[in-house]
Homo-oligomer: A and B are copies of this chain.
Amino acid sequence: MAEFEVSSIERAAVVGCGVIGAAWASRMLLNGVDVAISDPSDNAEQILTEVLGNAVAAYDDLGLPTDGQGTYRMATSVADAVADAQFIQESVPERPDIKAAVLAEIEAAAPVDTIIGSSTSGIKPSTMQATMTNPERLVVGHPYNPVYLLPVVEVVGGEHTPIEVICQAQGIYAGIGMKPVHVRVEIDAFVGDRLLEAVWREALWLVNDGVATTQEIDDIMTHGFGLRWAQMGLFETYRVAGGAGGFRHFIEQFGPTLEWPWTKLMDTPDFTPELVDTLVEQSDAQSGAHTIRELERTRDQNVVGFLKVLEANNWGAGTTIAEHRKR
């Protein structure tokens, strides 16, 4: 476990301002960091404004200060955004060629020792480092949306990333209220998306095979194990299930059932037009009564409520909020 010290930065750059980049910028701004934003699209500032509005409402509701905000500016280019940044968060589309081109632009203009965190959820840092001039400055800093509310960020170094850079990046992320988790082994999709992909694949089979609709699958999650995982993870939940016999008892009791041929083979269903139509129709029937903006606000209100409960109980993600509030 890499030890790190919480640190504060004053100026950051956000490169790529879609939903994820805008949420990074919002988290930084609400933690007093000035942010220069680079994105070639016409509606980047509009996305930022909308996401920042959601973030301010959430922080108000959570009782976190919103009056000491940093300022943002829309930069004219990547070079303009990163030239004097103390930290750079890259959130451009998930294509290795786009990542490589943008990293080259960043390196051409940024101070040589400024750390670059990449939001990628699937590209290994070593792959991105292969074309970099100063690869030692790159880490993956993979967040979960809404980035301004969910505290976790997976920090992954590549073969050229020294442990000191991992520690510095963790300190910077903690300084904006996050819970950095250092993933020590570089694997595709890191940790969280490995778990998410396994669920996604299995859920697609369930829809494809007509076993359950998107609504039914979501109901089973939100009325069942989802309520567990907002406060205890897989292993702690199963420890409790093992009772006084502890985790060894649990493994002895339930481990062998894993060998039952339950889940589907590794292949995913083909995204035939029929499957896509089924998914879209079921999702519309499930959620179509609400706009995406309404769903985002509902989500944020729910998550804020959960975080307040957890902070009051001094547990889980609530402790991260409490510690950040103290600082």
Instruction: Check A279 for interface membership: any CB of B closer than 8 A.
Output: yes
Measured CB to CB, the nearest residue on chain B to A207 is B235
Render A156-182 as a binary contact track against B, CB cut-off 8 A, 1 for contact. 000000000000000000000001010
Instruction: Check A241 for interface membership: any CB of B closer than 8 A.
Output: yes
Is the Cβ of B251 less than 8 Å from the Cβ of A235? no
Measured CB to CB, the nearest residue on chain B to A244 is B292
Number of copies: 2
Instruction: Check A49 for interface membership: any CB of B closer than 8 A.
Output: no
Measured CB to CB, the nearest residue on chain B to A318 is B302
Q: Which residues of B contact A122 (CB under 8 A)?
A: 257, 260, 262
Is the Cβ of B185 less than 8 Å from the Cβ of A286? no
Q: How far is the CA of A140 from the CA of B197 in the complex (A)?
A: 28
Q: A181-B220, A214-B235 are in contact. Are A302 and B295 (CB under 8 A)?
A: no
Q: A198-B201, A247-B283, A266-B265 are in contact. Are A222 and B212 (CB under 8 A)?
A: no
Is the Cβ of B198 less than 8 Å from the Cβ of A202? yes
Q: Name the prevailing secondary structure of the A interface residues.
A: helix
Is the Cβ of A292 less than 8 Å from the Cβ of B239? yes
Render A122-163 as a binary contact track against B, CB cut-off 8 A, 1 for contact. 100000000000000000000011000111101000000000
Is the Cβ of B236 less than 8 Å from the Cβ of A218? yes
Chain B proximity of A243: nearest CB distance (Å):
6
| Cβ 8 A contact of A152, one of B179, B191, B224, B276 | B224
Q: Which residues of B contact A247 (CB under 8 A)?
A: 279-280, 283-284
Is the Cβ of A240 less than 8 Å from the Cβ of B283? no
Chain B proximity of A193: nearest CB distance (Å):
7
Q: How far is the CA of A199 from the CA of B235 in the complex (A)?
A: 11
Measured CB to CB, the nearest residue on chain B to A294 is B240
Q: How far is the CA of A241 from the CA of B298 in the complex (A)?
A: 14
Instruction: Check A63 for interface membership: any CB of B closer than 8 A.
Output: no
- Mark out the residues of chain A between 203 and 249 whose CB falls within 8 Å of any chain B CB in the assembled complex: 203-204, 206, 209-212, 214-237, 239-244, 246-248
Known contacts A231-B306, A232-B299; can you find 14 more A-B pairs with CB under 8 A? A187-B211, A189-B262, A194-B202, A194-B206, A195-B202, A198-B199, A198-B202, A215-B235, A226-B226, A235-B283, A236-B287, A255-B271, A302-B315, A305-B313
Q: What are 30 pairs between A and B in contact, CB < 8 Å?
A: A122-B257, A150-B224, A150-B228, A181-B216, A185-B209, A189-B260, A189-B262, A194-B202, A194-B206, A198-B199, A201-B258, A214-B236, A217-B234, A217-B235, A222-B229, A222-B233, A223-B317, A229-B229, A229-B230, A230-B302, A231-B302, A232-B302, A237-B299, A239-B283, A239-B287, A246-B280, A247-B280, A258-B268, A259-B268, A305-B313
